[in-house]
Amino acid sequence: MVRTISTLIGAAFVFVLALALFGTVKTTITEPTPESVEHVFHQEPADIHLASAGLFGKFDDRQVQRGFQVFKEVCSACHSLKYVHFRDLTKIGYSTAEVKAIADQWAIEQPSINPDTGEPATRKNVPSDPFPSPFANEIAARAANNNALPPDFSLITKAREDGPNYIHALITGYQNPPAALKREFPSFSTPPGLHYNPYFANLNIAMPPPLTADGQVTYVDGTKATKDQMARDVAAFLTWTAEPNLNARHAAGIAAILFILIFVFLAWGAYQNVWRDLKH
């Protein structure tokens, strides 16, 4: 008797679940959720084919240095690199003397304490220092950026999907809202202080276009500084800041694969030698 009641209760439970599932599927098919403006007009970034991409990728130090120059002259006014130290620049080809000069001449100095008065002060950067933040704190950063907090750039290409391609597309993607957007979504607008960018998650971004014209940066190596070139270079630099040991990691991976292949070949040879007589 108890078993029969339990079976009936279980069958009723399964029946209710089946009805609920059927109702959900039917509603999804007959009354699909309207597509949002972000879903319709959001664009995916194109592949910019950086030298560091792929299993055998390796950083192009000249390009990374150009990207650092773009960061220094354009991006560092708002964005920090708190997990990167000046001395790390030696990994992309700068000499120790050049790194010392870059640190000493950096526009933002390190916070310090006056040893005589105990009052807050600043001091020149040294190679062992991390790149200083352009703002004293979050409140100051928001006050200077229409209440938006500029993200730290140290790991930005890891924190964003398709990081390097996203950075390039975002920087070069500022435009006016297309006419089709207004036709399909009349309620959509870009509020004052924001900028339309189809590569940003909700299409409206607080950061103004950082690259406004070709030649905004004069490259030391003489490369023509188009907006596209500068965006590619800074994307390469931020890929490096997020994974400065990529070259060594890829080299170690290739060495490990070669070792495994050699080991498998030797093991196969040993197997053939040991079992050769027993097979016949």
Residue tagged 């001449």 (tokens): 105
Q: What is the CATH number of domain 40-84+130-244?
A: 1.10.760.10
Residues of the chain with pLDDT under 70: 1-2, 10, 12, 16, 20, 22-34, 277-280
Residues that constitute the known binding site for heme c? 75, 78-79, 207
Domain assignments of the chain as residue spans, ordered by start:
40-84+130-244, 250-279
The pLDDT, as a whole number, for residue 119 is: 83
pLDDT, one tens digit per residue, over 235-265 is: 999 999 999 998 888 888 888 999 999 999 9
The pLDDT, as a whole number, for residue 27 is: 56
pTM over 0.85: no
The pLDDT, as a whole number, for residue 170 is: 97
The pLDDT, as a whole number, for residue 250 is: 85
The pLDDT, as a whole number, for residue 34 is: 56
